Amino acid sequence: MHTTTSRHGGRRRWALTVLVAALLAVVPTVPAQAAPDRDPDLVVMSRNLYLGSTLTPALTATSQQGFVAAVAQIYATAQFTDFPARAEAIADEIEATSPDLVGLQEVTRWTTSGLNPPPGYDFLAILQAALDARGLDYTVAATVDNASIGPAPLALPGCVQPGPTITCAVQLDDRDVILVNDDTPGLTWSNPRSGRYDAQALVPSPVGALSFDRGWVSIDARLDGQPFRFVNTHLETEAFPAVQEAQAAEFLAGPAKGGTVIAVGDFNSAADGSTTTSYAQLTAPGKFRDVWDEAALGAGDTCCQSSALTNPVSQLRSRIDLVLVRGAARATGDAQLVGDTPFRAVPPFWASDHAGVVAGLRL
């Protein structure tokens, strides 16, 4: 039976998690995590769920036939990477760290149709079921609908009849989502908002131009009367630097503007400045402060594992998943990564192609 946890009890678990992470991190080549300066008022998480496959084969196809073959390859990989199993690992991360607010990216819905189609996957419903099974009470507070691609012919076994005739189709829908922990005392929220950026990348394909239609989602919240805004986004990839940098500017001028703001997301801009200028824009004087202290916590790399999640040794090389704060919000020094170790001994090894970031904050 589920019982409501107090903030005091939740923070004890948070402190224990941080202590264990710090002890495990004490190796000669990696800086030990700094001790938190004080218990956090609020714990937030940014987590990219990973749609389950790279879309590159479809985006680089040069013919209708090549596009159909690419769709089959993409969906076969999405099946192989097994989001139901990965969702269990992500739910374990949430249970272990007890975040009060969670920003999710790539909350994918794969919808299949036709004659004897393979199963589809609604990542949000699957993750919610895994959280419910653990007695965790997280409400979907806000959602933004981004890309909607398809339906496209799905030439997998069982879907190709003599002729040949393809009898199945698949559609990809992408969302960013905010979850709120209903068991956090003193936390209230309202005014869910969402939007898409004016700047968007368009990729030509044999079936017309495709776009991921990147967007943002936010809520207004109060913790024990202290107001703040929580914003979650997923900017365009580094393959389209001008578009991504324009989106960063829109983000700063729009949902992330003014007051006390906590922003999380997959910003797709390396914190070391090696890819695009978006990180520098976001963290310029008078803008956001990055809660991840590399001197105390290490590199904090969050991207990226192989597209099929078959690499047994981590390939994380870049820090692009961030928790940023402005106004009255302050980091407490106890940020940590989740999902940066394999969750099982057989592939897919990883809960996502990204690691997640969890951070304690004071208001």
Q: In 336-349, which positions are buried (b, 16+ CB within 10 angstroms) versus exposed (e)?
A: bbbbbebbeeebbb
- 209 phi and psi, to 5 degrees? -70, 135
Q: Where are the domains of the chain?
A: 7-23+34-362
Domain 7-23+34-362 maps to which CATH number in 3.30.420.40, 3.10.20.30, 3.60.10.10, 3.40.190.150? 3.60.10.10
* Residue 165, pLDDT above cutoff 60: yes
What is the per-residue pLDDT across 297-318, written as a single tens digit (0 to 9) for each?
999 999 999 999 999 999 999 9
What is the per-residue pLDDT across 153-162, written as a single tens digit (0 to 9) for each?
999 999 998 8
pTM of the model: 0.90
Cα 359 from Cα 334, distance rounded (Å):
6
What is the per-residue pLDDT across 180-200, written as a single tens digit (0 to 9) for each?
999 999 999 999 999 999 999
Cα 94 from Cα 181, distance rounded (Å):
10
Cα 181 from Cα 199, distance rounded (Å):
33
Mean pLDDT confidence for 75-95: 98
Cα 108 from Cα 124, distance rounded (Å):
7
Mean pLDDT confidence for 117-139: 98
